[in-house]
């Protein structure tokens, strides 16, 4: 009998033990994110704008057209963040950092009277990031566990029988380069260390580009645009495309706070829950909160 809660707690305990060892071994203390020390305020590797599985706070409404069920209007809610644990400064704009991050991604069917929960994905992981001027690197090891909503499972017993027990541990590496302060390109690969079901192919790839404008437009917001592309060995490497474009509002005196309002489009394999063998197309609007 599977015990997902026990497995998650065990992995969290291992993560916390590693964090405690790292903090014990450190010999400096500083609260300034630009210096060597504990608890830096920001990350060296910037959040990927168009990745639908990037841990962050957001809310969105989309129209979903897919081959696993009837088309529907859905709401997507995400809660997640990265927390810097320790940064080692190697010089001007040159450093590495350990962080922990986690996220919750839930989807609801807005066409039902009770807005049925369809699925929730939970992730938790450790990150090592590195930056040297315009180049940055993120190496992440993380766990994901997926759980079908009760109402959805009751109404779709065939899905309950064939799409339960989906979770995995994965490692990924992404490299990024900033061009002219406004454009960014990135790419990398992922590998499933352990997975359930255990017959899934292990490899995946990810890449894309972003534009962060510097000239204010409507309501003093800055234009943003991102394209994220992913492919899975399990799906024959066929690319899935995620496009987000909109306006970012930020406090000029506090660079870590912002709100983005973006139009969104996705086409490819379903990136949430155990439904990766199905394809979908979606479009809608999302609001993202940066802390």
Length of the chain: 291
d(CA 263, CA 231): 22
Establish whether the linkage from the previous residue to 197 is cis, with ω within 30° of 0.
yes
Both tokens of residue 94?
Answer: 């040159």
175 against 30, higher pLDDT: 175
Count CB atoms within 10 A of the CB of residue 4. 14
Structure confidence by residue, pLDDT tens digits, 56-105: 999 999 999 988 778 999 999 999 999 999 999 998 889 999 999 999 99
Q: Helical H runs in the chain?
A: 4-25, 150-155, 157-162
Structure confidence by residue, pLDDT tens digits, 169-197: 999 999 999 998 899 999 999 999 999 88
Structure confidence by residue, pLDDT tens digits, 33-44: 467 999 998 899
Is the pLDDT at 32 greater than 50, yes or no? no
Is the pLDDT at 17 greater than 60, yes or no? no
Structure confidence by residue, pLDDT tens digits, 138-180: 999 999 999 988 887 787 777 666 666 689 999 999 999 999 8
Where residue 176 sits, what CATH number does that domain have? 2.40.230.10
Q: Which domain holds residue 220?
A: 4-290
Taking Cα atoms as reference points, which of 189, 271, 286 lies closest to residue 235?
271
Report the half-sphere exposure of 15 (CA within 13 A, side-chain side): 22
User: What is the three-class DSSP state of 17?
Assistant: helix
With 0-12 CB in 10 A as exposed, 13-18 as middle and 19+ as buried, what is 255?
A: exposed
Mean pLDDT of the chain: 87
d(CA 167, CA 102): 15
**Domain total of the chain:** 1
d(CA 267, CA 96): 35
Ramachandran assignment for 180, one of left (phi > 0), alpha (psi -120 to 50 degrees), beta (any other): left
pLDDT at 56: 95
């Amino acid at each position: 009998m599977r015990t997902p809660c026990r497995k998650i707690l065990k992995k969290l305990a291992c993560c916390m033990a590693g964090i405690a060892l790292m903090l014990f071994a450190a010999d400096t203390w500083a609260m300034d994110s630009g210096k060597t020390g504990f608890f830096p305020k920001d990350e060296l590797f910037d959040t990927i704008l168009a990745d639908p599985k990037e841990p962050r706070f957001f809310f969105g409404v989309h129209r979903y057209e897919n081959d696993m069920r009837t088309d529907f209007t859905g709401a997507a809610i995400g809660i997640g963040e990265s927390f810097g644990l320790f940064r080692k400064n190697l010089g001007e704009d040159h450093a590495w950092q350990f962080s922990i991050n986690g996220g919750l991604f839930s989807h609801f069917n807005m066409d039902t009277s009770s807005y049925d929960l369809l699925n929730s994905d939970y992730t938790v992981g450790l990150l090592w990031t590195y930056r040297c001027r315009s180049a940055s690197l993120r190496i992440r090891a993380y766990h994901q566990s997926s759980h079908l909503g009760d109402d959805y499972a009751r109404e779709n017993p065939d899905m309950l029988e064939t799409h339960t027990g989906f979770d995995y541990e994965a490692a990924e590496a992404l490299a990024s380069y900033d061009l002219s302060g406004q454009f960014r390109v990135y790419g990398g690969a992922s590998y499933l260390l352990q997975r359930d079901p255990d017959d899934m192919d292990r490899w995946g790839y990810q890449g894309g580009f972003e534009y962060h404008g510097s000239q204010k437009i409507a309501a003093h917001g800055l234009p943003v645009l991102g394209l994220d592309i992913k492919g899975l060995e399990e799906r024959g490497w066929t690319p899935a495309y995620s496009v987000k474009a909109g306006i970012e509002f930020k406090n000029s005196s506090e660079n870590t706070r912002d709100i983005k309002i973006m139009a969104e489009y996705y086409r490819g394999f379903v990136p949430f829950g155990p439904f990766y063998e199905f394809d979908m197309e979606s479009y809608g609007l999302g609001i993202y909160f940066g802390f």
